[in-house]
Amino acid sequence: MAIKSTIYKAEVQIADMDRQYYQTHQLTLARHPSETDERMMMRILAFVRHASESLVFGRGIGTDDEPDLWQMDLTGAIERWIEVGQPDEKRILKACGRAEQVVIYTYSSSSAIWWGQVGNRIERAKNLMVVNLAAATSLALAKMAHRSMQLQCTVQDGQLWVTAGSESVQIDFMVLKDFVSVR
């Protein structure tokens, strides 16, 4: 018999001064048995960074045709496709063909190895951004994971802080590949 996903609930208060976005979101996340606290918290962090009323979580690990998060317009066209982890080149390029923008958040100590393997092969994707977080940062976020969470997230001048109770983590994003502007 298969082990079922564990449900996590997070109240996420976002004060994004860079985008003038101030909102509280009640998130319900199904954490697959093979998913770590670190990866789940990275999904929440990606949500915070791109928060909008139309941004939703995909069906999760093992789903080939959906990302971790995505945002669609009213016609069903994919505006933003967000992956967490280290997807393979084929999945990345397929996403770039389906969405207006693709963003990947990578976060482990093996990220440099992964980037060394796929970086040159996906460089041609103009609608792709790849962002890395230090492993120590994602591990600090993982310590904030609880079945019921209250997170306060502040974004200002490109810096992001996540606070849960008395714990606070400063997030520093390192952009490995940015979107290519076409004029």
Q: What is the pLDDT of residue 59?
A: 85
**Is pLDDT at 183 greater than 60 in this prediction?**
no
Q: What is the pLDDT of residue 3?
A: 82
Cα distances (angstroms) measured from residue 131 to each of 25, 37, 38, 102, 107:
23, 19, 16, 11, 8
- Asked if 54 and 71 touch (Cβ cutoff 8 Å), the reply is yes
Amino acid at 86: Q
**How confident is the model over 14-64, as pLDDT tens digits?**
999 999 999 999 999 999 999 999 999 999 999 999 999 999 999 877 677
Mean pLDDT of 143-163: 97
Beta bridge mates, 35: none
Give the HSE-up count for residue 48: Cα atoms under 13 Å, Cβ half-sphere: 27
Which of 28-32, 59-63, 126-130, 131-135 is predicted least confidently?
59-63
Global pTM reads 0.95
Q: What is the pLDDT of residue 61?
A: 74
Q: What is the pLDDT of residue 87?
A: 96
SS3 135: helix
Q: Which domains does the chain have, with CATH numbers?
A: 6-177 (3.10.640.10)
Write out the two tokens for 120: 């040159």
What sign does the dihedral 160-25-164-112 (CA atoms) show? Answer: negative
Give the pLDDT band (50/70/90) at residue 161: very high
**Which phi and psi angles does 176 have, rounded to 5°?**
-85, -35
Which of 2-6, 38-42, 67-71, 167-171 is predicted least confidently?
2-6
Strand residues in the chain grouped as ranges (E):
6-16, 21-31, 55-57, 69-72, 78-84, 99-106, 128-132, 148-156, 159-164, 167-171, 174-177
Give the pLDDT band (50/70/90) at residue 89: very high
Q: What is the pLDDT of residue 48?
A: 98
Mean pLDDT of 94-110: 96
Identify the residue whose tokens are 């207006």.
100
The DSSP call for residue 147 is: S
Which residue has better confidence, 12 or 59? 12
Q: What is the pLDDT of residue 107?
A: 97
